[in-house]
Amino acid sequence: MLDQIDRIRARRPSPTYRVIPEVDAMGRLTDLYIAPGTLESFASTQELVADIMAAIQESTADAMRQHEITVSQELVAGKMATIRESAIDTARQHEAAIQNSDWSRVSWPGS
């Protein structure tokens, strides 16, 4: 499961589609792509920062969703394996009980 989590990367574009950050499953910024001409296209640095932050926030939320899905799937898979093992064990106990029963002493209807 940890390998799957380590491979999670979220890349959500900014509202202007000029900035694409990459965020890992732990919420760390791992890369940041800024399209050519982006710095010159914004009227102020505050607008640029807002665009970058919006993209980072979206990417972080997406990475967290991917993390939750991965963990949930692993938990469900683990529970299903436990249920399957329990069902197999119950079936084996039932089979042993049937094989060890003395059927000649059982009173059958109509006998």
Domain locations along the chain: 2-98
Burial class of residue 59 (count of CB atoms within 10 Å of its CB; 0-12, 13-18, 19+): buried
CA dihedral 74, 79, 80, 83 (to 10 degrees): 170
Per-range mean pLDDT, top range of 1-10, 52-61, 66-75: 52-61
- Convert the pLDDT of each residue in 41-59 to its tens digit: 998 999 999 999 999 999 9
The pTM score is 0.68
| DSSP designation for 28 | -
CATH topology of domain 2-98: Ybab; Chain: A; (3.30.1310)
Tell me: the pLDDT tens digits for 73-102? 888 877 887 888 888 888 888 887 777 777
